[in-house]
Structure 1
Amino acid sequence: GRTIHYHVERQIGYGSFGAVFHVVVVETGEVVAIKKIFQDKRIKNRELQIMRQLHHANIVQLKHCFYSHVDNSDDLYLNLVLEFVPQTIYGVVCQMKERRARLPMIYVKLYVYQLCCALGYLHSLGICHRDIKPQNVLLHPSTHVIKLCDFGRSVIMLIYSGIFTEMTHSAKMLQPSEPNVSYICSRFYRAPELILGATDYTTAIGIPST
């Protein structure tokens, strides 16, 4: 296949997962975001596995992926090439707060509706995001289209007799007796059952976060 060259403009995000960069495709001038993640060579990347399945207007699109090394190191990095969306709901709310203004209710309803559409789609596939928060909801300021992003903590929940259980990195099915992890989701957006330490939760934990 053809070689694609990327020019990194600036870093736009970071966390325990790695970093996100504002990048331009040299051949076309297209602006994209690249999420650079340390890749453990022993396991498959669950975020990549999940994102390859997702095709929805309110979920950030995976365009391409590639692996890279840092100079003088054997460390392997996975680079997810994603559509670029310039703002987040968190950033917009902070801007409104600085101006002592409120987000118009029509926009609140529009954003919540789109987020519910994204969640409905994910849950229909048995996918639990597990980290829904304003920072992970991207926003096109001109069109007011929102995009859910960051599937680094997401899991595929398999149904056994009506009970959801977690699919591991290797896609091995868990037995019904094997619990999920309760300490997930950012603190202020954590579902009540997670706060109480439940491990037999379902995709419904995404609803309180919304």
Structure 2
Amino acid sequence: MDKYAIVAQVGEGAYGVVYHVKCRTTDQHYALKCHENNKDGSMMDSTVRELSCLSALRGHPNIVETLDCFLHDGKISTLMPYLPLTLFGVIYQGRNHSGLLPITFISRFSLEIANTLSYMHGLNMIHRDLTPANVLLTAETLTVKVADMGLSRHAAKSISSGLVTESYRAPELFDTEEEEEEEEEKEEACTAQYTLAIDMWSLGVLIVDAMEATMTFHSKNFPTYKIIKETLSRNDHDGDSMWNPLRRIALELLQYDPKHRLTARMLLDDSKWQRISDAITDVDIDRVKCYAGC
């Protein structure tokens, strides 16, 4: 750690703290994640999962790269490229909300995330916390680098419903005993299996959030599960030809039944969606950077 000087703390969570650091000898800038330990000083399961997942996924063009790993003050620390721009920043921070993100950019970032998920899902690995804050973007080209693998793991049939960030949580992961009044719906939801499809739901929410410049399934006064039920019954943008491709993809990802959702591979094979992504221009990229306050 003596090799690096801390510039600023840029993030903190239950599993660790992320710093912006600078190499004292080269002046290169990096992100340094210092993973938390358990109370007894042992390594947390999340750290083991994240390091093993990053090792298995090393070299993928749309996954954040681990450059070094070492012990600092008895804690595992991982060095990564410093990528301060996130999808969260593009959608919300410093953005002129009277403007819309180019559909070409929305298509491109969704396909790059799908490329990541297709690779992970091929290894039977689930990200489990795909949010705008966990999707990093390179400064020049806004290329996706998916990060934060602390909750990633191999697919299982059951999971605690609270692990995926609520606004991006698939409906089958909610504890509907408190959300639903109809007994049949409660029974069906409680027996739903936890599958790779939860990541695809999260991707669908990212697309809609980018399209609407709002957190679609978040409200301080209304449960997320009920927002999902209400939103899926709407027909927004029906008459707007520009939004029809977005709406089609979003609805195919936001299927209530996980068995009916697009898979990552299916999204990558969607030729119409790919053509929209291929049409992105430098003007579109510069426009997105302006929305993000770059």
Cα deviation per residue 1:6-65 (whole Å; 9 max; x = unaligned)? 111111111222211111122332211011111231666221121111121111001111
Aligned to 1:57: 61
Which ranges of 4 or more aligned residues in structure 1 deviate by more than 6 Å? none
Give unmatched runs, 5+ long, in structure 1. 70-75, 158-163, 166-178
Q: Secondary structure at the match of 2:161?
A: coil
Q: Distance in 2 between matches of 1:47 and 1:95?
A: 28
Q: How does 1:1-210 map to 2 (within 5 A)?
A: 5-40=3-38, 41=42, 45-55=48-58, 56-69=60-73, 76-95=74-93, 97-157=95-155, 164=156, 179-195=158-174, 196-197=189-190, 200-210=193-203
Q: CA RMSD in A?
A: 2.1
Q: Percent identity?
A: 31
Tell me if structure 1 keeps the 8 A contact 2:30–2:82. yes
**Closer, same or farther: CA 54–42 of 1 in aligned 2, 3 Å:** closer
TM-score (norm 1): 0.79
The Cα offsets for residues 57-99 of structure 1, whole Å up to 9 and x where unpaired, read as 1110011111122xxxxxx322111122120001111136445
Deviation string for 1:185-204 (max 9, x for gaps)? 11110112112455731222
Deviates more, 1:77-86 or 1:195-204: 195-204
Partner of 2:277: none
Give yes or no for contact 2:36–2:43 (8 Å, CA) kept in 1. Answer: no
Q: 5+ unaligned residues in a row in structure 2: which ranges?
A: 175-188, 204-294
Alignment: residue pair count? 183
**Looking at CA atoms only, which structure, 1 or 2, has the larger radius of gyration?**
2
Relative contact order (alpha carbons < 8 A, sep ≥ 6): 1 or 2 greater? Answer: 2
Contact 1:96 1:103 in 2 (8 A): no
Point out the structure with the larger helix share: 2
Which structure's residues are more often strand, by fraction? Answer: 1
